[in-house]
Structure 1
Amino acid sequence: MSDFAALALAAFLTVTAVTHFLFPAYFRTLVPRWLPSPTALVVGSAVAELATAALLFAPATRTVGGWTAVALLSAFQVSHLDAAFHTRTRPGFLGSPWGVTARLTVNAAYIAWALAVTAG
């Protein structure tokens, strides 16, 4: 995969991490109810995204960064799968069956992007 794809993924993860800090209340709504400490999970995921982005920005650690991104984005699928079980109790488009399907699909595409980066 090109350097551009890795750098674009790094930039994407950086922007996403920053939005976790700017809009924590929104991201707490994405944390499944059965997980403890939504605030800590939002902050932790933002820090993990920044660390992953740093790995992707550096050519020497880009492959490790790609695999780290795969793991991180795969962990986020838990939130989207959990939403699938609560489509009747969550308001708004992202909580609807179509919204959950979109969330799962888009996140799967992000995982594919990260996998492509691991191929170097």
Structure 2
Amino acid sequence: MHAIAAVALAVFLVVTGVMHFLIPGYFRTLVPAWLEWKQFLVAVSGGVEIVVGALVFVPGTRQGGGWAAAVLITCYLVSHVDALRCARPDRPRLLERPTGAVACLVVNVLYVAWAVAVAVSAA
């Protein structure tokens, strides 16, 4: 079961990383307005996700990859906290409302827990 969770995390990271390059416009919308170089940040984070996913996939580097994934996803929490700060109940998109922003934040905390579980189980 641990290997399945690790491989699933690896695939999740690699696919998400590739999507940064296929639909960068979407990922730029996730970067907080106060950060500059959105296109650069999206490209770098996509590349890092692909590399970290590869580390998680290989059993010999799985533990380090799991910890790297936990750190990377924790860094993304900044954008979700910012989205929650900017959320308003009258916004047309669910993810721009407080309920949707909280849901995104909770899901990403669960992603961090998933990565930590992979790292710990690989030890």
Cα offset, 1:57, TM superposition: 1.2
Question: Could you say which structure has the greater relative contact order, defined with CA pairs below 8 angstroms and 6 or more residues apart?
Answer: 1
Give RMSD over aligned pairs.
1.4
Q: Which residue number in structure 1 is paired with residue 38 of structure 2?
A: 38
Q: Distance in 2 between matches of 1:106 and 1:91?
A: 21
Quick one: which amino acid aligns to residue 68 of structure 1?
A: A
Where does structure 1 lack aligned partners over 5 or more consecutive residues? none
Counterpart secondary structure, 2:86: coil
Q: Which residue number in structure 1 is paired with residue 29 of structure 2?
A: 29
Cα offset, 1:91, TM superposition: 4.8
Where does structure 2 lack aligned partners over 5 or more consecutive residues? none
Q: Which residue number in structure 2 is paired with residue 96 of structure 1?
A: 97
Cα offset, 1:41, TM superposition: 0.6
Cα offset, 1:84, TM superposition: 1.0
Q: Distance in 2 between matches of 1:81 and 1:8?
A: 26
Quick one: which amino acid aligns to residue 74 of structure 1?
A: T
Deviations 1:40-78 (A, max 9, x none): 010011001001011011111100000000000000000
Counterpart secondary structure, 1:85: helix
Cα offset, 1:21, TM superposition: 1.1
Q: Distance in 2 between matches of 1:98 and 1:20?
A: 25
Cα offset, 1:90, TM superposition: 6.1
Report matched runs for 1:1-120 at 5 Å. 2-88=2-88, 91-119=92-120, 120=122
Normalising by structure 2, what TM-score? 0.92
Q: Distance in 2 between matches of 1:91 and 1:38?
A: 24
Q: Distance in 2 between matches of 1:59 and 1:76?
A: 25
Q: Which runs of 4+ in 1 moved over 3 A?
A: none
Q: Distance in 1 between matches of 2:72 and 2:91?
A: 24
C-alpha distance 34-91 of structure 1, shift in aligned 2 (>3 A): farther
